[in-house]
A and B are shown apart, each in its own frame.
Chain A
Amino acid sequence: MTVIVAGAGIVGSACAYFLGQAGAQVHLLDASAPAAEASGAADGAVSVASKRPGPLMTAALSGIALYRELEESGPLSGLFHRRSTFIVAASEDEQKVLETHATALADAGVVITAIAGDDIPRRFPALSRAASLIIEVQGEGHAIGYQVVHRLIAASGATVHRSTPVTRLVPDRSGTRLAGVETPAGFLGADAVVLATGNGSSALLGLADVLTPRKGQLLITERDPALNAAMPGSIMSGRYLLSKGSQKTASAAPAPAGPARGFGLVIDPLRTGQFLIGGTREDHGNKQETDLSAVSRILADAVALVPDLARLRLLRSFAGARAAVRDGLPLVGRLPGLSNAVVATGFEGDGICLGPVMGRAVARLLLDKEPGLDLAPFAPNRFQSSGDAA
């Protein structure tokens, strides 16, 4: 079987890997190059810490389990860094929301530990004294998107076509299957086609009303092995839950000038000794660039939680665009009316965690096997009734 996988992000690469394992001949096409978009501009939390019970949490839990397996069995060895996520509350409001959230996590079977009082400085010496409660979410980890992409492609045996955008899907005469795809280099035929084209899917499938780019800005510091060692895992500010969750309790932060954007705070100690700090959620503006106003605010928040970060220097800032679906759930499944074409996009802020497990599900779908994951909530045709052409 010959399969065209369009999009060499983490989802397309994982799909190519699992198809290759099953003996398929894979052509992996990318408009620019592997990990050129979201997968190369992400924080790599492989995590359920901020999730609510539901289909996404279920998928994310299988996602984490698959990372462990791939790390142990080979293809991702050394690339999945196991560590806990620590959600930190630094005010009464945050503490209240965090307690509720912790209960929900525990009910969903996630292993958590509450840390309070004197245990906070003992477990997490780098943390500010303002921290009043920490929920440690165990069994999570971190993976760097572009490393995973690189490794999976190398192991897939796929033929990589860089700078080769799919410009059109070409149906066969029956109209119920795709014959292949059109590219600037000409027509390329295949037995099946996977669209893992991230934000590029909007133009290909006419999804402009359903799928929108949501920008995030991220920061990388210089190395500080000592401070790094004083952080046993990544921290997530409880304020993130506040703004994501019950709006009523959200403290009225002064509105920034310009279009509204969301700020969360995650500080991840990388294995290089550096720190990755993020980030924003923005629906406006240039998707590649970063601005002082956001960077300054993120760093001020970060220093408030980990005061010693103030003595480091910022090495890099960058931005990427998540592909966000209107209802917050990804689009994964067969394209309506086309039996040999599958789409997998819309993973917003979870695609690093979900990439391998979704790539495997899609590969299995094409191979007529059980996807290993309930894909019903992610059905691409769920917007059709509202007139959208998915």
Chain B
Amino acid sequence: MPDITPDTLNLTPDVLIIGGGPAGMSVAIECARAGLVVTLVEQRPRLGGAIFRQPVNGVAPLALAAGPERLKARLFKDFAAQVARIHCVYGALFAGLDADGLAIVEDRQTSRVLPFRPRALVLATGAVEAVLPRPGWTLPGVTTAGGLQVLMKETGRAPQGRVVLAGSGPLLLALAAQLIRLGRPPLAVLEAGDPIRRPGASLALLAHPSLVSEAASYLATIALARVPWHRGAQFERIDPCDQALIVTWRDHKGHLASLAADHVSLHDGLAPNNFGLPAEARGGVKSSAGNPLVIRVGDCREALGAAAAVAGGEATGRNLAAHLLTGGEVIAAEATLARHRSAQHHIARAFAPRRGQELATQLPDDTVICRCEGRTLADLKKLVAESPGLSARELKLNGRFAMGACQGRFCASNAARLLGELSHSADQVPVSALTGQRWPLRPVSIAALAAAVADAPQPGSSTKDDKDIR
């Protein structure tokens, strides 16, 4: 892959893309083909995103199922053909859009803050895992399934010791299959839903043969390795015991069961990674401050999977290029996405937890909700009881939920859900009420920020009067 770290950097590209997954890569390919000046910022050292993540040097990539493997080959080939026209900045983090319309990027390689002023800002930051709070989920040895997968994809190795995968969704199966292929089958997969007992939803998926064959390949691998897939498992808790973790759940008949493991990886589905991201502004809306057009693509717009990320990215990229070159509206690639949306809908139905999921009544009061600040369900309940009608912002300020260093990535959606449950409100509490839309959306080096201001391009700067830095 192109490992270009440019020694000069154009701070006013036509298009600034955040995220080098399938969606961001697809937009970059289309915009570069159309002749636009494109910069792509990726926080990790390689392209590929959550699904096609590249291993670090010298490690063979993990094998994917056949469908994703074909998609990957095409994407990387197309990208390679345009690579000379795409500036890639790796190890750099988008930190948000400021009041003046600057797209702020922290380049952690050079310890600099790069203030971009693109014509269009494309957000392709992918999805995040939803992970529900559970007793013991903050113990050492407990990770998210995605975290484990990133580790495996980047190092080509599975962790030492016994692994239990728990939660819900097809990603658990994909991960189990990957562990098996690396010669370290998990002890078990605990699945809250029961896709086999929801034949309606599962049958509807037959209309999406590529998904079915992908799922079938995972299931075959798992069956062959005799890894138990416990469906309808209601997770109870994780307890520390000597050097190990005891995982306890109720099986579909309601009987308690447990297993000793060294690692527990949790996963409860995917949600758009839009924490603190600026809102979309399509159709050439420009504020007086000269704010860029803001567009979201791929899983950060709607978590529909890799094929949808590519299809949506390509359509949006072509659209955006036409808009920037000749005017015209930038429309969402709705038609392309409808099919993927229906597939995801059926998957979600198939994996719907067997038991109703009232978190507030299911979890013991001492369950930690906010990991950064150590705030528990009891803390949350007390606040809500003291102040009927409590707003999400008050919950945040006075309960310190979503106030910690992770800026709400772990707890905001759970806290919002619990607030909704406890205040018996019919309306969902929007997660953004807890996370806000302010920069920095990740902690940024003060030294780099303090040195940043001289570099900022003024509104109205164009690609013509390039301002090169470094």
Contact = CB atoms under 8 A, between A and B. Distances in A.
B440 A311 contact: no
B115 A292 contact: yes
Chain B interface mostly: loop
Interface stretch (B190-198, B205-213, B442-450): B442-450
Contacts, number: 107
A303 B452 CA distance: 13
Nearest to A40: B397
B453 A292 contact: yes
B416 to A, nearest CB: 15
Given A296-B452, A310-B446, A313-B446, A290 B439 contact: yes
Contacts of B397: 35, 40, 146-147, 150
Nearest to A32: B391
Given A35-B397, A160-B389, A222-B405, A291 B444 contact: no
Nearest to A293: B453
A338 to B, nearest CB: 30
A290 B104 CA distance: 12
Interface in A296-330: 296-297, 299-300, 302-303, 309-318
B386 A296 contact: no
A213 interface: no
Interface stretch (B22-30, B95-103, B303-311): B95-103
Contacts of B443: 222, 313-315
B386 to A, nearest CB: 6
Nearest to A30: B391
B456 interface: yes
A303 B448 CA distance: 11
Contacts of B445: 313-314
Given A289-B98, A291-B98, A296-B453, A33 B440 contact: no
A35 B452 contact: no
A292 B446 contact: no
A60 B317 CA distance: 58
A290 B98 contact: yes
A295 B100 CA distance: 12
Interface in B70-126: 98-100, 102, 104, 113, 115
Contact of A291 (B99, B388, B394): B99
A253 interface: no
Given A290-B99, A299-B449, 6 more contacts: A33-B394, A291-B98, A292-B453, A293-B100, A293-B453, A296-B452
Sort A-B residue pairs by CB-CB distance and give the 10 closest, nearest first. Answer: A289-B99, A296-B453, A313-B443, A33-B391, A310-B447, A299-B450, A291-B99, A300-B450, A146-B397, A291-B98
Interface of B: 98-100, 102, 104, 113, 115, 386-389, 391, 393-394, 397-398, 405, 407, 438-440, 443-447, 449-453, 456, 458
